[in-house]
Structure 1
Amino acid sequence: MTTSVFLADDQGLVRGGFRMLIEAEDDLDVIGEAADGASAVRMLQQRPADVVLMDIRMPIMDGVEATRRLVSAGLATRVLILTTFDLDEYVFAALKAGASGFLLKDARPEDLLSAIRNVAGGDAVVAPSATRRLLAHVVRSLPGEGSADHGEKVDLLTSREVEVLQQIAAGATNAEIASTLYMAEGTVKTHIGRLLSKLDCRDRVSLVLFAFEAGLADPYAPR
């Protein structure tokens, strides 16, 4: 099946470069593009895409608000934020708005293509070292201690589920979690499914943010 991709970026050269890269792949297809968040939301409501490559800073409506509106509209579209290191606070806001992950604009072409496919498949882009560094930057926007609501949810978790959550927050893949915690990869997936349900999280990115907010993970810890 072909994954449909929408490009939202105010720079025409950037959109053109992404389009050439993406359309060279047999399983990916660019179905539209917009130079501002408002146009992106309007066009995607008319014709949803599987994945949106969303720039943060755009005129009329920025990527954070556009992401929030797409998610609240209940569209099946998943948002992959494109950012640079000087936009940390916006990245955090976009993730809280419901983005499925983020990637640096200078990422390697193969990493961008992989990220699109992972997000389209229901996963989230949280593992790369660049993401870990960005999360370490944005975590200063988080409260110093977990809220009471977070504490109540943590109490619902088993010790094993907490261990899996901490591994996810550290950027570990399912295979790495299985190796570290001495369990089958299928068991890891089962634990992740339970974490998503118990913590009312929509995806892996939400689990990472929850772990930071609840004080269960240290974003500055070496990976």
Structure 2
Amino acid sequence: MTAGEPIRAIVADDQAVVRTGFVNLLSTQDDIDVVGEAEDGEQAVALALAHRPDVALLDIRMPELDGIQAARTILRETDGATKALMLTTFDLDQYVFDALAAGASGFLLKDATFPELLHAVRVVAAGDAMLAPGITRRLIAEFAPRRPVTAPKSLLDRLTAREVEVLLLIAQGLSNKDIAERLTITDHTVKTHINRLFTKLDLRDRAQAVIVAYEAGLVTPGEGG
């Protein structure tokens, strides 16, 4: 996305009312341009490859190809240029953790408010992960226990003690500002620690950092920030 240009987005949901609602709301904003809408995962992938949007809003549960598979394909085929923001009902979806592992940048509840919708799209388009404590952390806390621990704890040996602290706070859903206040350090120092631990662990974004923290047993599901 070039500075000054509107965020280009697609919306994929098999429920026409939900899909149309999101499209109409996003279309009211001067800085967001909805370039297509899809009713299943295959259509979403085709749209993403044709338009190369900045953000793809994908329902997790869709016919033909579910949102997780669609996200994985879109991220692979666009080399990560298109970010995936998953739409979820929280209490019904059982594959949230898999969606993060597939590379999704975060989650938006289908009953989200208009400001929450706009915030999520803008955050993800900017290259950050939508890891608000009230959304993604709760989702992961619910579904992470169903998965086996796969990342070795020795992975954390690559990090300094301070970097482990920062990773823990990221996994608890804290923002950079919250982390700075918690550790009594500057925002710039927080960003430096995050960049270093991302490099050491070969992570792309905060979503992947959360996965590593849970899979390595650094935090347990349900821990609060």
For this structure pair, what is the TM-score category when the shorter chain's length is used for normalisation? over 0.9
TM-score normalised per structure 1: 0.94
**In the alignment, which of 13, 16, 37 is matched to residue 17 of structure 2?**
13
**In the alignment, which of 72, 75, 84 is matched to residue 79 of structure 1?**
84
| 1:101 matched to 2:106 | yes
Q: Any residues of structure 2 matched to 1:1-223 within 5 Å, and which?
A: 1-73=5-77, 74-143=79-148, 145=149, 147=151, 150-223=152-225
Q: Is the 8 A contact 1:88 1:137 kept in 2?
A: no
- Structure 1 residues 156 and 75, CA, compared in 2 at 3 Å: closer, same or farther? closer
How many equivalent pairs are there? 220
Where does the alignment leave 5 or more consecutive residues of structure 2 unmatched?
none
- Structure 1 residues 25 and 16, CA, compared in 2 at 3 Å: closer, same or farther? same
Residue by residue over 1:6-26, the C-alpha shift from the partner in whole angstroms, topping out at 9 and shown as x without a partner, is 001112221211111101111
TM-score normalised per structure 2: 0.93
CA–CA distance in structure 2, aligned partners of residues 221 and 60 of structure 1 = 36
State the identity %.
Answer: 51
1:146 deviation in Å? 5.1
**What RMSD in Å do the two structures reach over aligned CA positions?**
1.3
Q: Is the 8 A contact 2:133 2:172 kept in 1?
A: no
Where does the alignment leave 5 or more consecutive residues of structure 1 unmatched?
none
Residue by residue over 1:113-170, the C-alpha shift from the partner in whole angstroms, topping out at 9 and shown as x without a partner, is 1010000001101123132221111111222x454xx333211100000000001011
